[in-house]
Amino acid sequence: MNIQQVKAMMELQALGNLGSIASSSSEGTNVFQTVLDRALQTTGTDTLGSVQNLLNTMPHHASSPTLALSQENDASKSQETGIDSIISRAAERYGIPAKLIHSVVKQESGYDPSATSHAGAAGLMQLMPGTARGLGVTDVFDPEQNVFAGSKYLKQMLVKYDGDMKLALAAYNAGPGNVDKYSGVPPFQETQNYVRKIMDSYYA
């Protein structure tokens, strides 16, 4: 490749970058075409392959699938960050570890604000209708109301059982009546698995 070819390609590269800013300008298009024609006349047919390679490697517009996927990930990240903020504030208000609330939310709903169970529990922390009403929740699917109410209830269970996390979690899942009845974690497979999974997540 001679000096003229190198010079032509450098000009094309610079104008190619400019083209992403002024793609709607006919003037920019005309300038690019002029330089392309000059490059072909000056350097011969060998330049054509280089020009085609350069055009093939130019960035796509914002409608490309890669950028669309990136924007989708950003939206998902934004939602997760919003829930994280709610959990942090609830943890601070009720004086319980944010990681514990995260572990409960992960186990209860997998961070899905619209999750529901066959028993009627709903939202991020899977509040039962009666519990939600008693805690002043007006919209169980509202992430902030749900997390704050669920955290408040979890705090109540921790106080009731003198900070015993296993008993508090068992009460959250099976109700304090069953914990009191069996004087510990009830012998229900679902509750025992629930307590174990959350404890494992919390101490991971």
In Å, how far are 14, 29, 52, 81 from 24, measured between CA atoms?
A: 17, 8, 21, 37
Q: Which pLDDT score, from 0 to 100, does residue 77 have?
A: 43
CA 176 vs. chain centroid, Å, equals 34
- Domain segments of the chain as ranges: 77-203
The residue-averaged pLDDT of 15-33 equals: 46
pLDDT by residue (tens digit) across 57-116? Answer: 444 433 444 444 544 554 454 355 599 999 999 999 999 999 999 999 999 999 999 999
pTM above threshold 0.75: no
Q: Which pLDDT score, from 0 to 100, does residue 83 have?
A: 97
In Å, how far are 9, 22, 55, 118, 203 from 123, measured between CA atoms?
A: 58, 48, 50, 13, 24
pLDDT by residue (tens digit) across 159-195? Answer: 999 999 999 999 999 999 999 999 999 999 999 999 9
Q: Which fold has domain 77-203?
A: Lysozyme (1.10.530)
Read off the pLDDT band of 32 (50, 70, 90).
very low
pLDDT by residue (tens digit) across 124-156? Answer: 999 999 999 999 999 999 999 999 999 999 999
Q: Which pLDDT score, from 0 to 100, does residue 60 have?
A: 40
Read off the pLDDT band of 12 (50, 70, 90).
low
Spatial separation of the C-alpha atoms in residues 110 and 22, rounded to whole Å: 45
Read off the pLDDT band of 4 (50, 70, 90).
low
- What is the percent of the chain where pLDDT is above 90? 60
Q: Is the confidence at residue 25, as pLDDT, over 80?
A: no
Q: Is the confidence at residue 196, as pLDDT, over 80?
A: yes
Active site residues: 108
